Amino acid sequence: METIKQNQTAEALKWRYATKVFDKTKKLSEEQLQLLKQAVQLAPSSYGLQPYQVLIVSNPEIKEKLKEAAFGQSQLTDASHIFVFARTHNFTEKHVDEYAINIAETRGIDVADIKGFVDVMKGTVNSRSQDELANWNAKQAYIALGVLLETAALHEIDACLMEGFNNAHFDGILGLADRNLTSVVIASVGFRSSDDGYQNLNKVRKSDGDLFIHI
């Protein structure tokens, strides 16, 4: 594997910030969009279940509607693309079975060969209420969100994690109910405007001693 400089991830994470003002004239290239999608696709999740889908919105009219459903925040229209992470709404054994078929096809084996693993996953799913599954699935989407934000920064693409939006309105605008999906979190992705003063502020983080406990 290609080596990366020791300080390269930290530099990228310092360069990034929650972009407030995007340059609306700058759009992601097809290559940039592909590399972000690939990172999201490869993101880890519990058991590898990926209990979510990701909507990528670039249509200007739809972005305008999403902005209204997000308290008018300008990122929704000015960023190049909006990534909407949506968890699977009713999550059942059927989704485990679909995953099992994908495993079998990808690895050239029979579903019967992984019966033990499938039973463990079904046991987990069946032991949880729909509320617990909703939280579990949302958390998996947040792992993919973290991977998206870091990957963007490494490639000098700006992004803003956003939780401040009306989930029900988003679901309506994007037709998510018909797809058995519910929006959980979004990231606006594009390029910072030079007018965005936030890029010049010192990054605020818990100190090493306040964040970490060594045992």
Q: Choose which of 185, 189, 190, 193 interacts with its own copies (CB under 8 A).
A: 185
Interface with its own copies (CB under 8 A), residue from 68, 138, 167, 196: 138
Q: Does 130 bind its own copies (CB under 8 A)?
A: no
Q: What six digits make up the tokens of 206?
A: 């818990």
Nearest by Cα to 70 from 56, 59, 58, 84:
84
99 binds its own copies (CB under 8 A): yes
Between the alpha carbon of residue 12 and those of residues 16, 22, 37, 197, the distances in Å are 6, 18, 19, 19
- The SS3 of residue 174 is helix
Q: Which of the ranges 10-18, 19-27, 69-77, 189-197 carries the binding residues for its own copies, by CB under 8 A?
A: 10-18
Q: Which of 54, 69 has the CB closer to its own copies?
A: 54
Do 188 and 22 meet the contact criterion of CB atoms below 8 Å apart? Answer: yes
121 burial via Cβ count (<10 Å: 0-12, 13-18, 19+): buried
What angle, 0 to 180 degrees and rounded to 10, lies between the N-to-C axes of helices 115-126 and 93-107?
160
DSSP 3-state assignment of 156?
coil
Q: How far is the CB of 189 from its own copies (least distance, A)?
A: 13
Contact 176/54 with Cβ under 8 angstroms? no
For residue 168, the one-letter residue type is A
* Shortest distance (Å) from residue 24 CB to its own copies: 18
Rg (CA), the chain: 19
Residues 12-71 interacting with its own copies (rule: CB under 8 A): 12-16, 18, 31, 35, 37-44, 46, 48, 50, 53-59, 62
Determine, following the binding rule CB under 8 A, whether residue 129 of this chain makes contact with its own copies: no
Q: Which of 25, 155, 197, 198 binds its own copies (CB under 8 A)?
A: 155
Kindly state the smallest distance separating residue 25's Cβ from its own copies, in Å: 21
Residue 93 or 175: the one with the smaller Cβ distance to its own copies is: 175
| Binding span for its own copies by CB under 8 A among 19-27, 67-75, 152-160, 191-199 | 152-160
What the block records as the tokens of 136 is 């579990």
Closest distance to its own copies from the beta carbon of 113 (Å):
12
Q: Which of 60, 106, 116, 127 binds its own copies (CB under 8 A)?
A: 106
